[in-house]
Amino acid sequence: MSYWGSLNLMDPSSPIQIEMMLFHDHAMILLIGIFTLVALLGVKLCLNKFSSRATHEAQLLEIFWTIIPALLLIWLALPSLRLLFLLDEQGSNGLILKATGHQWYWSYEIPSSGTDSFDSYMVQEQALTNGEFRLLEVDNRPVLPYSNEISVLTTSSDVIHAWALPSMGVKMDAVPGRLNMMGLYSLTPGVFYGQCSEICGANHSYMPIVVEFVHLNDFIN
Ligand SMILES: [Cu+2]
């Protein structure tokens, strides 16, 4: 908790979010390396005599300072592409959560549970009880099984919203007249929080997302 918490990131709770955080570390290694090198060269440049005997027409030097950055970019691009394709990977066991954005609340449908669609409004500040999170709790939250591939379908009834659950590494626009799909997979049971992530009007900040993950048996019951 403390490490990711100090970076203002939530603990990862899905394989894809773990991959994303590892890629974040991978990219930071490169960034910090480049920044340090450029900073050191900048300092050295300020201190030198501005003569260029060793760098003038230095073909070998130019070959290296072209090839090394190119290799570094490949080193960054390949894991990035791998992650991009992993993100598109989706299971197909038919378990679907449909999230519809409204101004300003979410409504959910879980077709396989046999229940009707229900609305999910934010709990107002004065109605909160001890231990609940301000601006994050909702009155009705969808319950899903953990360790199961779930497909989330997002759409909207009015303007563009975005359904996001940071600890699961999912964020998808909810566009009116369109159905977007993404994979959702939780490694652990628990309650997970997110927020609408597309500026959608006056109460954009007041339509949080809460999903509860339980054991498959409890979900079936
Ligand atoms: Cu919204």
Q: Domain with 159 in it: what CATH number?
A: 2.60.40.420
List the strands of the sheet with 190-194, edge to edge: 143-145, 209-214, 190-194
Structure tokens at 74: 């490949």
What confidence score (pLDDT) does residue 72 get? 94
Q: 198 C-alpha to center of ligand 1: Å?
A: 6
Q: 135 C-alpha to center of ligand 1: Å?
A: 14
Read off the pLDDT of residues 134-192 as tens digits, 9 standing for 90 and up. Answer: 999 999 999 999 888 999 999 999 999 999 999 999 999 999 999 999 999 999 999 99
Domains in the chain: how many in total?
Answer: 2
Q: 150 C-alpha to center of ligand 1: Å?
A: 22
**DSSP 8-state symbol, 117:** P
My answer on whether 24 and 122 are in the same domain is no
My answer on whether 80 and 31 are in the same domain is yes
Domain boundary among 67, 88, 109: 88
My answer on whether 74 and 136 are in the same domain is no
Q: 25 C-alpha to center of ligand 1: Å?
A: 30
Q: 123 C-alpha to center of ligand 1: Å?
A: 16
Give all strands (DSSP E) within 166-208, no chain letters: 170-174, 180-184, 190-194
My answer on whether 108 and 173 are in the same domain is yes
Give the DSSP H or E segment for 77.
helix 59-88
- Dist. CA 190–CA 169, nearest whole Å: 15
- Dist. CA 146–CA 190, nearest whole Å: 9
Domain interval for residue 214? 96-220
120 Cβ contact partners less than 8 Å away, ≥ 6 residues apart? 105, 106, 107, 108, 138, 139, 140, 141, 142, 209, 210
Q: 132 C-alpha to center of ligand 1: Å?
A: 22
Domain boundary among 88, 108, 125: 88
Mean pLDDT, 10 residues at a time, the chain of 221 residues: 63 90 92 95 86 81 93 95 89 85 93 85 89 90 91 94 92 94 92 93 93 89 77
What confidence score (pLDDT) does residue 1 get? 44
Strand-strand pairing, 105-109 and 96-102: antiparallel
Q: 80 C-alpha to center of ligand 1: Å?
A: 29
* Residue 176 · residue 157 · CB < 8 Å: yes
My answer on whether 103 and 206 are in the same domain is yes
Domain boundary among 88, 104, 133: 88
Which amino acid makes up residue 107?
S
CATH code (residue 31): 1.10.287.90
What confidence score (pLDDT) does residue 204 get? 93
- Dist. CA 152–CA 169, nearest whole Å: 13
- Dist. CA 9–CA 3, nearest whole Å: 9
Q: 174 C-alpha to center of ligand 1: Å?
A: 8
My answer on whether 114 and 185 are in the same domain is yes
Q: 221 C-alpha to center of ligand 1: Å?
A: 32
